[in-house]
Amino acid sequence: MAAPQRLFDIRRVIGGLFVVYGLILAVTGLLDSAQEIQKAEGIRINLWTGIAMLVVGGAFLLWERLRPSDGPTSSNASASSGEKE
């Protein structure tokens, strides 16, 4: 149970999703036509949202890298699948 827990740490999932979304939006934002920019009141909203999502996603991935789910969690997780102490 500890292995999937690490693989599916929510921070990795959100971080990964946001990085992918961020890339898609940032590229779209760079290619946006004048019409799309005008729709958003002159703001390159795809580009800015993309950059913001990249930053947030990166932060989640970094957090997960620096503090992989702390000790007590994983020991409790393995206990809960068997007998609870």
Partner 1 sequence: MPDAPLLAAQDLRLDVNVLDYVILALYFLVVLGIGFAAKRAVRTSLDFFLSGRALPAWITGLAFMSANLGATEVLGMAANGAQYGAMTLHYYWIGAVPAMVFLGVVMMPFYYRSKVHSVPEFMRRRFNGATQLLNAGTFAVAQILIAGINLYALALIMDAMLGWPLWLSIIVSAAIVLAYITLGGLSSAIYNEVMQFFVIVAGLVPVVIIGLTRVGGFSGLGEKVKQSVLGKGGLHTWAHTAGTDNPLNANWIGLVFGLGFVLSFGYWTTNFAEVQRALSARNTNAARLTPIVAAYPKLVIPIVTVIPGLIAVVLFGDLGKDGGPTYNEAIPLLMNEFLPNGVLGVAVTGLLASFMAGMAANISGFNTVFTQDIWKAHVNGDHPDEWYVRLGRIATVVGVLAGIGTAFIAAGFGNIMNYLQSLFSFFNAPLFATFIIGLFWRRMTAWAGFWGLLSGTVCAFASYILYKAGVFDFGTELNASFWGAGIAFVVDAVVSVVVTLATTPKPESELRGLVYGLSDASVSDDALAGDAAWYRSPVILGAGVVVLAAAFYLPFL
Residue whose C-alpha is closest to residue 9's, from 81, 73, 80, 55: 73
User: What's 3-72 look like in SS3?
Assistant: HHHHHCCHHHHHHHHHHHHHHHHHHHHHHCCHHHHHHCCCCCHHHHHHHHHHHHHHHHHHHHHHCCCCHH
Q: Does 64 bind partner 1 (CB under 8 A)?
A: no
Q: Does 66 bind partner 1 (CB under 8 A)?
A: no
Interface residue with partner 1, options 19, 53, 54, 64 (CB under 8 A): 53
For residues 16-35, which are near partner 1 according to CB under 8 A? 16-18, 20-21, 24-25, 28-29, 32
List residues binding partner 1 (CB under 8 A): 1, 4, 7-8, 10, 13-14, 16-18, 20-21, 24-25, 28-29, 32, 36-37, 39-43, 45-46, 48-50, 52-53, 56, 69-70, 72-73, 76-77, 80-81, 84
